[in-house]
Amino acid sequence: MKSSAQLWREIQQTEVSAGSLAFWWLYQAGIVLKSPAGVIVAVDPYLSESVMRSYKLPRGVPAPLDPADADVDALLATHSHEDHLDPDSIEPFLRPAQARFVGPPMAADKVRATGVDPSRITPVGRGDEVTIGDIGVRAVHARHMFGLEPTPDAVGYVLSCGEVSVYHSGDTEYDSEIIADTRGVGTSLVCINGTTGNMNVHEAALLAWLQGARLAVPFHYGLWRDADYGEGATLDPGQFADTYGRLNPGGRVHILQAATRVVVGPDGLAV
């Protein structure tokens, strides 16, 4: 895998064509997304070993990006859990003067507690919309009541630029309210691990199908050792692709590779 510096150089040097968005997967639910205007946002990047302190879970793979190398316009979190709002990454991501934070109130409180100027923090809930350069961010419904740490204010996001839209599920169980908020989205990034309050591969495939997504992308796996995801985990993206193919014959699925650029347009993968 390329080094952190090489990945960030690639992100910086990538020119995103009009009518498209580019993103890079950072394992679990973390992505970095870039727009045609050069606006860069990071969503749910977990890049440290902070979960070792709370749950004694070591990373199974090295972090593909060091947040100290990054220079983002915004850090977004779908909720306050550490593998989505990494406490060790807040300060380096928000060090650049232009960087702002967007997330639900419990996450915003954690960022505020680190000393970040409140004027750079935007709390959001379902239905709220925020503009970051040429990227529109709309918070959508999520249901993530994980027993040990329930997050009643968790959200997902629809990130859009012109006719291009990308749904980021964050952590969530299957819920028809998500479909109401996201129907017709172009690309759907859906969690598949099936444990700790998340959809399994079959529920995620059903969601993407009912959304009418032109491209379905499974994520939220690959960070821990498989056994650490818990009993009943569904971590095989090929199983997601099989179920989605049964629901939507001919539907397109993209299997992510960490730190590898993906370019999407209004109808899914861009050529």
Report pLDDT for 146: 87
Q: How far apart are CA 29 and CA 142, in angstroms?
A: 14
Q: Which pLDDT score is estimated for 224?
A: 97
pLDDT, one tens digit per residue, over 74-86 is 999 999 999 999 9
Taking 70 as the threshold, does the pLDDT of residue 246 lie above it? yes
Mean pLDDT confidence for 212-238: 97
Q: Which CATH class is domain 4-269?
A: alpha beta
pLDDT band at 1 (very low <50, low <70, confident <90, very high): confident
Helix/strand/coil for 193:
coil
Mean pLDDT across the stretch 46-58?
A: 95
Q: CA nearest 178: which of 219, 125, 126?
A: 126
pLDDT above 70 for 158: yes
Residue 73 is classified by DSSP as S
**pLDDT at position 147:** 80
Give the DSSP letter string of 164-186: EEEEE--S----HHHHHHHTT-S
Residue pLDDT, tens place only, 247-264:
999 999 999 999 999 999
Other residues' Cβ atoms within 10 Å of the Cβ of residue 5: 11
Average pLDDT value for residue range 46-67:
96
The Cα 23–Cα 263 span in angstroms is 7
pTM for the full predicted model: 0.98
User: Residue 137 forms beta bridges with which residues?
Assistant: 130, 159
Half-sphere exposure of 47 (CA within 13 A, CB side): 25
Confidence label for 28 from pLDDT (cuts 50, 70 and 90): very high
What angle do the packed helices 237-247 and 201-211 form, to 10 degrees? 40
Q: Give me the residue spans of the domains in the chain.
A: 4-269
Residue 30 has pLDDT above 80, yes or no: yes
pLDDT at residue 148, as a whole number: 84
Question: pLDDT category, 271, cuts 50, 70, 90?
Answer: low
Give the torsion through C-alpha atoms of 180, 186, 192, 194, to 10 deg: 0
What pLDDT is stored for residue 31 in this prediction? Answer: 98
Per-residue pLDDT of 119-152, as tens digits, reads 999 999 999 999 999 999 999 999 999 888 899 9
pLDDT tens for residues 170-193? 999 999 999 999 999 999 999 999
Judged by DSSP in three states, 99 sits in: coil
